[in-house]
């Protein structure tokens, strides 16, 4: 599924192009994971003030002529969703479930599995937004991601470090691919209890999380199946992965085979030699 880097790449690919555009119409296809929460016709005439990201959610801020804010749209790409933004698009197909026509182009959500969503909220503090965003942890690419606070939070958790990172309530958006990569970079075995990680090792992991996510954004994310940005571009981070998806292949550092195990129904990849503790 699209993780934080893919969502950020998507945002960067259309945010500046759609900013300031007036909404001409909104059409909904088949029901998504959650309802829109507003009559689509009520969005007509509003403008796009900005496009932000919170974790794996895109936040499209809306404005009206006589008000600074008229709410926002929270967009989640689900398991297989992708956004496309272009001057004009063909007629919506069976997997196109949200189409927003604006004065600067058309934004469309394509989602074959329909686990994605577009939800309207009157503000980021409104109940629909808080239900989705309220429990999210710190943004890993922001200045709020503090190494000392990160270690203190890990000390309170007895679960395996990979499971703690995937939970997203300490630091948000470190999904399965990038979690495996960050743990390898930090030399930490994914099964070690979070509370047993020392301060120096937590600091290495803190740096690794930021480095891996930044590299992934620069590489356009990871295209394992069908991810592409809103411009139709695919990502290349998966080509430089150190452990993810490389079970049985030689470790790029020590040449021993990469190990695959299952944690919480997710595949975990690591090097038993380079990640001893």
Helices (H), the chain: 4-18, 127-133, 147-154, 161-167, 176-186, 199-218
Whether residue 20 sits in one domain with residue 102: yes
Q: Which residues are catalytic?
A: 2-3, 56, 266
Q: Which regions of the chain does DSSP assign to beta strands (E)?
A: 23-28, 47-54, 57-63, 72-76, 82-86, 96-102, 105-110, 117-121, 259-263, 266-270
* CATH value at residue 266: 1.10.8.50
Whether residue 252 sits in one domain with residue 188: yes
pLDDT at site 2: 81
* CATH value at residue 89: 3.20.190.10
Tell me whether residue 33 is in a domain: yes
Domains: count for the chain: 2
pLDDT at site 220: 77
- Mean of the pLDDT values across residues 265-269? 93
Tell me whether residue 142 is in a domain: no
pLDDT at site 231: 65
Whether residue 90 sits in one domain with residue 11: yes
Q: What is the pLDDT of residues 134-190, one digit of tens each?
A: 999 999 999 999 999 999 999 999 999 999 999 999 999 999 999 999 999 999 999
Q: Which domain holds residue 85?
A: 4-130
- DSSP 3-state assignment of 222? coil
Task: Please provide the average confidence, as pLDDT, over all residues in the chain.
Answer: 92
Q: What is the pLDDT of residues 42-94, one digit of tens each?
A: 999 999 999 999 999 999 999 997 766 799 999 999 988 999 999 988 888 89
């Amino acid at each position: 599924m699209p993780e934080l880097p893919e969502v950020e790449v998507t945002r960067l690919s259309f945010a500046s192009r759609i900013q300031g555009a007036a909404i001409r119409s909104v059409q909904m296809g088949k029901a998504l994971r959650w309802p829109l929460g507003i009559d689509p016709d009520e969005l007509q005439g509003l403008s796009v003030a900005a496009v932000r990201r919170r974790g794996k959610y895109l936040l499209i801020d809306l404005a009206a002529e006589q008000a600074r804010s008229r709410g926002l749209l929270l967009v989640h790409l689900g398991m297989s969703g992708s956004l496309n933004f272009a001057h004009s698009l063909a007629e919506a197909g069976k997997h196109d479930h949200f189409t927003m026509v604006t004065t600067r182009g058309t934004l469309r959500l394509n989602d074959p599995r329909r686990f994605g969503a577009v939800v309207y909220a009157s503000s980021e503090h409104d109940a629909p937004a808080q239900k989705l965003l309220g429990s999210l942890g710190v943004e890993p690419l922001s200045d709020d991601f503090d190494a000392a606070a990160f270690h203190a939070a890990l000390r309170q958790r007895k679960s395996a470090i990979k499971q703690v990172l995937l939970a997203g309530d300490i630091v948000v958006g470190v999904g399965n691919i990038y979690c495996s990569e960050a743990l390898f970079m930090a030399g930490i075995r994914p099964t070690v209890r979070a509370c047993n990680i020392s301060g120096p090792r937590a600091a290495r992991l803190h740096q690794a999380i930021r480095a891996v996510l930044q590299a992934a954004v620069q590489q356009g994310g990871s295209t394992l199946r069908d991810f592409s940005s809103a411009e139709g571009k695919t990502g290349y981070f998966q080509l430089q992965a150190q452990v993810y998806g490389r079970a049985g292949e030689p470790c790029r550092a020590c040449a021993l085979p990469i190990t695959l195990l299952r944690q919480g129904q997710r595949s975990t990849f690591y090097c038993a030699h380079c990640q001893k503790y």
